[in-house]
């Protein structure tokens, strides 16, 4: 069956802008695909065997010549020795013993390169004979200089169960030995491991990471391109791509491939969700006031899918308007407001509507017109109503801070209302930039980057603080010293101490390209209003990348691509450890521990009693985030005032206004005098 490639789409679409500089690929809405006669039927079921090759972005660096290398394995079938992974013959394989009493998993292969190399990645080619027995699923990758001390994994996760070459990129580290531990067989077919080839990649040089700038790694391999993600109440990261692990094109067949990362056991599991009949690519995402994850629209444009903390997905009511690339925001009463989204369904007129999770109903809000928040995008309304920067605020209101230079207030009572809120100082339209509410009680929103057009224009370095207060009043807007780097398609994450971590993106909007990638993140400090460059990483994170704060105060940064046979599919994530968790020598600082909490479910205005194992000086609440296409309307932060209530015992009061303390799941962090945050406890804030 024909599976459309990007080049065929490019040939079929006439490109409007004759002056386009680089390949101006425009992701077509489904109706364009249909009009062009390209199949929209689903041809690539991710669960069964696939022969079509997926294309993972290769590691950076160069594949090393393997001459003279040796291999040690824990088990092999005669004729399928470990050395077969280095022989350059795709038809020969290493296979753990299978003929009699096969030893159980895990199986281990250790490659000795005979000299220390600046290792920064590897590729794994599964067997190519069409038989998948022994494909590596869950795995861990270790490095060693001496062959006996392997430390903790530099990468782990789960590879997709197919014949395509897998790619793992790590931050450069000198090593002589590379060890791959296969924990599961990818299809659970038996206790085996097999491999056709392993190549090891290396950088020309190694610079030890500078201190004080945070640290990247480990790499987490995913069986999908994680293009959307949300933090579950149990601290797991649920991610998804589309109907396929590697492409969104042709996806309206009513299913979604998900993969969930559990930080507590460092495992990734894959699951296809089909019972909601919803390809959840390019959705709106919000964590509703009752804690349900509400995923709307996208490839199946009218659909709503709901996920609870037990990973049970159920179908919600269809939206009144079919949407894709809309944004949604939880309101002070726990409902979910959405607006925009002309990427799917008919273009234009995507006025507001609101979801009531208790009644499972959508209500159109004709008084919330989309027109005042449109950008002047060169591609028209298909793009101009995408990815709104919206924030639930007091009294059921929603503040729209961008990406249009115009700002607006939307009211969600009755049939809705709209009040203009001025412009974002001298800023231009900033599509696919970032906006983060880093101090909710003070109404403070940081904005950064973006570009006048969704694609084909330079990104900006502009940054602002928007301060909102009374509903329907114009906010104040402060222009900041700009970002170090112009960025579009970056991600921004508020940390427990109120700093904002901005990572990835590139300087010229070009979806599915990793050209001009910014690999140096920036940390914005609200006290100094300055951006400070942090440690660079080596995996580009551009279009379709995600980032989320985790309960342990690290940042999950993943995805990018989802473009079929392109070379920018990033089947992985990395953990960024901010400077606040590290000593000068790179070791982990000791951190305070929240030893008990009076409750994990509290109404706004309530008092929490918190006991810690050592003195702390600050606490904060950071709302669980959700992330796709640069939008994370769920995250926001509330600094708390400590009241001492005995030795290492503190009372903190949750703000009484649910427009500030939006209902839903929040992380409670305790922070010591050195600025080190605890691992957070997750709590549900209720409206009553
Ligand atoms: C072996 O497979 C790899 C990965 O698919 C491919 O790049 C390479 O060309 C193949 N080698 C041969 C000799 O076919």
76-105 pLDDT per residue, tens:
999 999 999 999 999 999 999 999 899 999
Minimal-distance CA residue to ligand 1 atom 8? 90
Interval 314-342 mean pLDDT: 98
pTM of the predicted model as reported, rounded to 2 decimal places: 0.93
Stretch (H or E) spanning 32? helix 30-35
Percent of the chain with pLDDT over 90: 89
How do the residues of the chain divide into helix, strand and coil, expressed in percent and rounded to 5?
5, 40, 55
Minimal-distance CA residue to ligand 1 atom 12? 90
* Ligand 1 within 6 A of CB of 125: yes
Which residues touch 636 (CB under 8 Å, ≥6 apart)?
Answer: 391, 436, 437, 438, 440, 494, 622, 623, 662
* Ligand 1 within 6 A of CB of 165: yes
Token pair for 90: 């795709």
**Rounded to the nearest whole angstrom, what is the distance from the C-alpha of residue 120 to the centroid of ligand 1?**
21
Minimal-distance CA residue to ligand 1 atom 14? 90
Q: Over the stretch 533-579, which tens digit does the pLDDT of each residue have? A: 999 999 999 999 999 999 999 999 999 999 988 889 999 999 999 99
Q: Over the stretch 20-73, which tens digit does the pLDDT of each residue have? A: 222 223 333 333 222 222 222 222 223 333 334 457 888 888 999 999 999 999
Instruction: With CA atoms as reference, report the closest residue to 624 among 614, 633, 634.
Output: 634
Q: Over the stretch 103-144, which tens digit does the pLDDT of each residue have? A: 999 999 999 999 999 999 999 999 999 999 999 999 999 999
What is the atom index within ligand 1 of the atom nearest the CA of 89? 13
**Rounded to the nearest whole angstrom, what is the distance from the C-alpha of residue 545 to the centroid of ligand 1?**
29
**Rounded to the nearest whole angstrom, what is the distance from the C-alpha of residue 197 to the centroid of ligand 1?**
9
- What is the DSSP-derived secondary structure letter of residue 532? E
**Rounded to the nearest whole angstrom, what is the distance from the C-alpha of residue 199 to the centroid of ligand 1?**
11
Token pair for 237: 């990261």
Distance CA 262, CA 266 (A): 6
- Catalytic residue numbers? 543
Contact between residue 651 and residue 593 where contact means Cβ atoms under 8 Å apart: no
Token pair for 675: 């600025």
Give how far Cα 335 sits from Cα of 390, 397, 413, 623, 658, Å. 14, 11, 11, 16, 12
**Pocket perturbation via mutation, ligand 1, pick of 90, 129, 162, 165 by most ligand atoms within 8 A of CB:** 90
Give how far Cα 676 sits from Cα of 166, 592, 619, 632, Å. 37, 7, 11, 25
- 485 strand-pairing partners: none
Q: Over the stretch 354-377, which tens digit does the pLDDT of each residue have? A: 999 999 999 999 999 999 999 999
- Dump the DSSP string for 239-307: EE-SSSSSB-TT--SS-EEEEEEETTTTEEEEEEE-TT----SS-EEEE-TTS-EEEE-SSSTT-EEEE
* Ligand 1 within 6 A of CB of 91: no
Distance CA 27, CA 454 (A): 11
What is the atom index within ligand 1 of the atom nearest the CA of 53? 5
Q: Over the stretch 516-533, which tens digit does the pLDDT of each residue have? A: 999 999 999 999 999 999
Contact between residue 189 and residue 132 where contact means Cβ atoms under 8 Å apart: yes
SS3 498: coil
What burial class does residue 353 get, using C-beta atoms within 10 Å of its C-beta: 0-12 exposed, 13-18 middle, 19+ buried?
A: buried
CB burial readout 243-263, b (16+ within 10 A) else e: bbbbbbbbbbbbbbbbbbbeb
**Pocket perturbation via mutation, ligand 1, pick of 125, 126, 127, 167 by most ligand atoms within 8 A of CB:** 125
Residue 57: the pLDDT is: 87
Instruction: With CA atoms as reference, report the closest residue to 643 among 634, 635, 633, 653.
Output: 653
Residue 54: the pLDDT is: 57
**Rounded to the nearest whole angstrom, what is the distance from the C-alpha of residue 502 to the centroid of ligand 1?**
38
Q: Is a pLDDT exceeding 90 seen at residue 290?
A: yes
What is the atom index within ligand 1 of the atom nearest the CA of 128? 2
Q: Which of 2-6, 249-253, 398-402 has the lowest mean pLDDT?
A: 2-6
SS3 539: coil
Contact between residue 559 and residue 543 where contact means Cβ atoms under 8 Å apart: no
Q: Over the stretch 640-677, which tens digit does the pLDDT of each residue have? A: 999 999 999 999 999 999 999 999 999 999 999 999 99
- Where are the extended beta strands (E) located within 550-599? 555-559, 572-577, 594-597
pLDDT class of 13 with cuts at 50, 70, 90: very low
- Residue 612 has φ and ψ, to the nearest 5°, of -120, 165
């Amino acid at each position: 069956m024909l599976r459309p490639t990007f080049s065929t789409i490019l040939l079929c679409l006439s490109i409007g802008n004759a002056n386009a500089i680089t390949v101006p690929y425009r992701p077509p809405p489904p109706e364009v695909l249909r009009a062009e006669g390209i199949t929209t039927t689903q041809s690539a079921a991710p669960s069964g065997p696939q022969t079509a090759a997926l294309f993972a972005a290769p590691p950076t660096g160069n594949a090393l010549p393997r001459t003279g290398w040796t291999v040690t394995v824990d088990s092999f079938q005669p004729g399928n020795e470990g050395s077969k992974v280095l022989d350059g013959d795709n038809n020969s394989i290493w296979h753990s013993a299978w003929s009699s009493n096969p030893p159980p998993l895990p199986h281990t292969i250790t490659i000795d390169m005979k000299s220390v190399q600046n290792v920064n990645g590897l590729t794994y080619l599964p067997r190519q004979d069409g038989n998948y027995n022994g494909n590596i699923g869950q795995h861990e990758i270790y490095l060693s200089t001496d062959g006996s001390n392997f430390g903790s994994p530099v990468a782990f996760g789960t590879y997709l169960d197919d014949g395509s070459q897998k790619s793992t990129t790590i931050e450069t580290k000198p090593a002589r030995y590379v060890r791959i531990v296969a924990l599961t067989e990818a299809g659970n077919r038996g206790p085996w491991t097999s491999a056709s080839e392993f190549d090891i990649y290396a950088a020309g040089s190694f610079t030890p990471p500078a201190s004080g700038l945070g640290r990247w790694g480990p790499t987490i391999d995913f069986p999908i391109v994680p293009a959307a993600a949300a933090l579950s109440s149990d601290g797991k990261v649920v991610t998804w791509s589309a109907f396929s692990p590697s492409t969104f094109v042709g996806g309206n067949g009513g299913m979604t491939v998900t993969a969930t990362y559990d930080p507590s056991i460092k495992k990734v599991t894959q699951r296809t969700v089909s019972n909601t009949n919803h390809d959840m690519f390019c959705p709106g995402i919000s964590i509703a006031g009752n804690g349900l994850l509400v995923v709307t629209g996208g490839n199946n444009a009218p659909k709503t899918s709901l996920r609870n903390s037990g990973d049970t997905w159920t179908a919600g009511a269809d939206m009144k308007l079919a949407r894709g690339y809309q944004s949604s925001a939880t309101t002070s009463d726990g409902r979910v407001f959405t607006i925009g989204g002309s990427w799917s369904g008919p273009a234009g007129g995507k006025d507001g509507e609101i979801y009531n999770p208790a009644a499972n109903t959508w209500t159109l809000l004709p008084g919330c017109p989309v027109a005042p928040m449109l950008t002047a995008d060169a591609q028209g309304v298909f793009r101009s109503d995408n990815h709104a920067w919206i924030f639930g605020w007091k009294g059921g209101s929603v503040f729209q801070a961008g990406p249009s230079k115009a700002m607006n207030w939307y009211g969600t009572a009755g049939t809705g209302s709209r009040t203009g809120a001025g412009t974002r100082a001298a800023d231009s339209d900033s599509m696919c930039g970032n906006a983060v509410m880093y101090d909710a009680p003070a109404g403070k929103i940081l904005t950064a980057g973006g570009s006048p057009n969704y694609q084909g224009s330079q990104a900006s370095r502009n940054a602002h603080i928007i301060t909102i207060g009374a509903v329907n009043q114009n906010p104040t807007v402060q222009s900041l010293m700009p970002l170090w780097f112009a960025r579009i398609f970056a991600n921004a994450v508020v940390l427990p101490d109120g700093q904002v971590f901005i990572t990835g993106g590139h300087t010229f909007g070009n979806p599915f390209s990793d050209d001009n990638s910014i690999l140096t993140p920036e940390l914005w400090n609200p006290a100094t209003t300055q951006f400070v460059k942090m440690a660079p990483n080596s995996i580009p994170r551009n279009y379709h990348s995600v980032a989320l704060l985790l309960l342990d105060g690290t940042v999950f940064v993943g995805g990018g691509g989802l473009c079929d046979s392109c070379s920018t599919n990033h089947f992985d994530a990395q953990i960024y450890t901010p400077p606040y968790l590290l000593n000068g020598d790179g070791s982990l600082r000791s951190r305070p521990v929240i030893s008990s909490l009076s409750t994990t479910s509290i109404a706004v205005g309530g008092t929490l009693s918190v006991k810690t194992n050592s003195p702390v000086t600050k606490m904060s609440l950071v709302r669980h985030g959700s992330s796709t296409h640069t939008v994370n309307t769920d995250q926001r932060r509330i600094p708390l005032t400590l009241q001492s209530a005995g030795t290492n015992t503190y009372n903190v009061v949750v703000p009484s206004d649910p427009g500030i303390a939006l209902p839903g799941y929040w992380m409670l962090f305790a922070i010591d005098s050195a600025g080190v945050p605890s691992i957070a406890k997750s709590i549900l804030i209720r409206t009553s």
